[in-house]
Structure 1
Amino acid sequence: MKKGIQINDYNCLDLAFLKHVKDCGFDGIDLYFKSNTLKSSDRDRIVDTILYNLDVAGLTCPQVHLPYYGIQVSSETFDQVMEENITYVLSIMPRLGATWGALHPMSSTNFGFDRKRAMQDNIIKIQNYLKTAEKYHIGIAVENLPVWYDVPQNTYFCSEVEDHVELVDRLNHPLIGVCWDFGHANIMGCDQFGRPVEPYYDKKNALETMGNRVKIIHAHDNFGDYDHHYCPTIGNVNWHELIPILIRNGFPGYFNLEVETSHFKDPELCDAFIELCGTTARALIKEITGK
């Protein structure tokens, strides 16, 4: 299984940084565009520079993270700028070589997190994105969201696997799949200390239920208490139990890390962290798969 790591657009303008990512054992990146880039009149030139740097560094870009509304923004909301940004990133995916883009579903926060309302709103939105996806032959992977222990009443849409499966199956399109976020799944059904509480959330069963709908992943870790985005193995995600499920289901993608790097002020610390992540990803996958 190839290894990838999510990198922000501004880091991709630094060729030396991308070469370091490659030297740390990563095969590709999961590109995320910041809003400043997307609203820039020079964004096409920025994309050209990123493409050049990726090519020189020897990295692929198999997946992207699409722009997304804030998690508390209600699902019926239509923001013209946000919609144009999502469409733009979908449209440049073929240039990047990306086949799937991760999309956050939206919750009906203005209507008490009503599941039926959120389901219908998301279907309408995603069907609109599909027009662009079909034009460029690229896929949209709907991501699972978590529920936080301190606001259990905020039952974000697609936090429960049943809603997630229903959404994907009702869309019923080969360009619609799932982005499975291991860290989000790990905090489901836990208290502030990461201890399981009722109702019990079976992480293994959830991934098994997703089956071959999973096209890309966000691999990061936590202790069940908060969405920390730690490097895998710095937490209690049971990788040795979950990765084999992906493999049995014919997972086609990269072991892609979605770890937090933006807080590093010292470039040397960031480089050291990237090296830690690369070494860990290689060792973990080798230990589980034998190769």
Structure 2
Amino acid sequence: MAGHSRECQWRIQIMKLSTTINFFTYEDDGSYSAYYYDLEHYAKLGFSHLDSIFCSADAPFSPLWTNRYEDWAHKIRKKADELGITFVQTHVPFYNFCDPKKGVNENTEEIVRRSIVCTNILGAHWTVSHPGTAYADSLIVDGSKKQNLEYFSRNLEFAKKNDVGICIENMADFSGQGFKRSYCATVEELADLVDTLHKTYDNVGICWDFGHANLVYSNQVPCLNYLGSRIKVTHVHDNMGLEDEHRAPFLGNVKWDKIMPALARCGYEGNFSFEVKRLAADVPEHIKDAYWKYMKTTGEYLLSMAK
């Protein structure tokens, strides 16, 4: 028993608290704007580990469209190094590449590849991507698996050449978009896809999104036990089990008291990364510091529960 306790304490020590940073964003009027969020601000608030979001990096203004995008990433890395900040994971742009009306978008795929290159430059080992769902296929699961294997095989090959791994994120049957079956909303489908890819590519893993899982499972502990060491990164947020709200932990009904010990027991060694960007975006500027200090305290408390 004492040995198990020491093992859990070790897991807590290596599990680092991180949060998302978005270098691309929408304005209130729906237009795009690009900005360098003040890395010094994050450092001052005590966040030394960050998750860079490239999800909107295919916008027209994006520096990733220019031939100097690598220089752009090197400048960010240099500033981060000066501040003692480490980029621990990223998130590439996503869309439903299984949609027969749209298919694989080569413009977006170019930005996906450039995001992977930038991931390597920033020093992160993992980037996150969403699986697609073949809604038009009469056998949704079989059709989805086939197309996802083709899609991720190409990107995993490219990522491997750049010393980056791809984590496939668990999905949910989002009620806000009308009920639609989403491939990889179940742990069985996600594990099957990743295990099949892993036969050829050792740089594939799983991103466990606690908010998405809360829309599918009332108890996530069996999911964590089932997936085990396949989980390489996390997305940490909360909701009430109805919509993908990206609330701060404890502002929804995710059972963190059950999840945190299970996360330690399943051998998770990655980062505990907040993805509460929607709620944070609505916080008035003059209280954002207090909000993020609250978030850091919340994260530290959650990590203390992982035993």
TM range (shorter): 0.7 to 0.9
Matching residue within 80, 84, 87 for 1:58? 84
Residue 210 (structure 1) shift: 0.8
Match of 1:138 in 2: 164
After superposition, give the CA deviation of every residue in 1:161-211 in whole Å (9 maximum; x if it has no partner): 11111101111232110000000000116xxxxxxxxxxx64221221111
Structure 1 residues 72 and 119 mapped into 2: Cα distance closer, same or farther (>3 Å)? Answer: closer
Task: Return 5+ residue gaps in structure 2 as ranges.
Answer: 1-14, 25-33
| CA deviation map 1:83-107 (0-9, x unaligned) | 1111111122221111111110000
Aligned partner (choices 105, 115, 118) of residue 79 of structure 1? 105
SS in 2 for 1:64: strand
The SS at the match of 1:109 is coil
Match of 1:13 in 2: 36
Work out whether residues 88 and 125 of structure 2, in 8 Å CA contact, stay in contact via their aligned partners in 1: yes
Normalising by structure 1, report the TM-score.
0.86
Q: Is contact 1:142-1:179 (8 Å) kept?
A: yes
Tell me whether 1:213 sits opposite 2:227 in the alignment.
no
Measured after TM superposition, the shift of residue 272 of structure 1 is 2.9
Q: Is the 8 A contact 1:219 1:255 kept in 2?
A: yes
Aligned match of 2:260? 243
Structure 2 counterpart of 1:18, one-letter code: L
1:2 paired with 2:25, answer no
Q: CA deviation at 1:156?
A: 0.7
**Offset at residue 74 of structure 1 (A):** 5.4
State how many pairs are aligned. Answer: 276
Contact 1:221 1:229 in 2 (8 A): yes
1:164 paired to 2:190: yes
Range 64-73 or range 246-255, more displaced: 64-73
Structure 2 equivalent of residue 258 of structure 1: 275
Give the conservation status (yes or no) of the 8 Å contact 1:74–1:107: no
The DSSP-based 3-state class of the residue aligned with 2:276 is coil
Residues in 2 aligned to 1:269 and 1:72: alpha-carbon distance in whole angstroms: 42
Paired residue for 2:205?
Answer: 177
Which AA in structure 2 matches 1:284? Answer: L
SS in 2 for 1:110: coil
RMSD across aligned positions (CA):
2.4
Instruction: Describe the SS at the equivalent of 2:136.
Output: helix
In structure 2, what is the Cα distance between the partners aligned to 1:175 and 1:45? Answer: 26
Aligned CA distance change for structure 1 residues 202 and 106 (closer, same or farther; 3 Å): same
After TM superposition, give the deviation of residue 151 of structure 1 in Å: 5.8
Does the CA-based 8 Å contact 1:25-1:279 persist in structure 2?
A: no
| Contact 1:146–1:188 (8 Å) recurs in 2 | yes
SS of 2:247's equivalent in the other structure is coil
Structure 1: where are the runs of 5+ without partners? 190-200
Compute the displacement of 1:269 (Å): 3.4
**Contact 2:70–2:118 under 8 Å retained in 1:** no
> Using a 3 Å threshold, how does the CA distance of structure 1 residues 152 and 267 change in structure 2: closer, same or farther?
closer
Taking structure 2 as the reference length, the TM-score comes to: 0.82
Other-structure match for 2:10: none
Aligned equivalents of 2:274 and 2:193: distance in 1? 25
Q: Distance in 2 between matches of 1:71 and 1:242?
A: 32
Residue 46 of structure 2, aligned match among 25, 32, 36:
25
For residue 193 of structure 1, what is the aligned residue in structure 2? none
Partners of 2:295 and 2:176 in 1: CA distance:
30
Which amino acid is the alignment partner of residue 144 of structure 1?
N
1: CA distance between counterparts of 2:188 and 2:298?
32
Q: Distance in 2 between matches of 1:210 and 1:87?
A: 27
Which of 129, 149, 152 matches 2:155?
129
- Give 1:195's aligned residue: none
Change (3 A) 1:137 1:72: closer
Q: 1:273 to 1:70 in 2, by over 3 A?
A: farther
Alignment partners' CA distance in 1, 2:240 and 2:111? 34
Distance 1:111 1:249 in 2: 35
Aligned residue number for residue 94 of structure 1 = 120
Instruction: Between 50-59 and 167-176, report the one with greater CA deviation.
Output: 50-59
CA drift at 1:152: 6.3
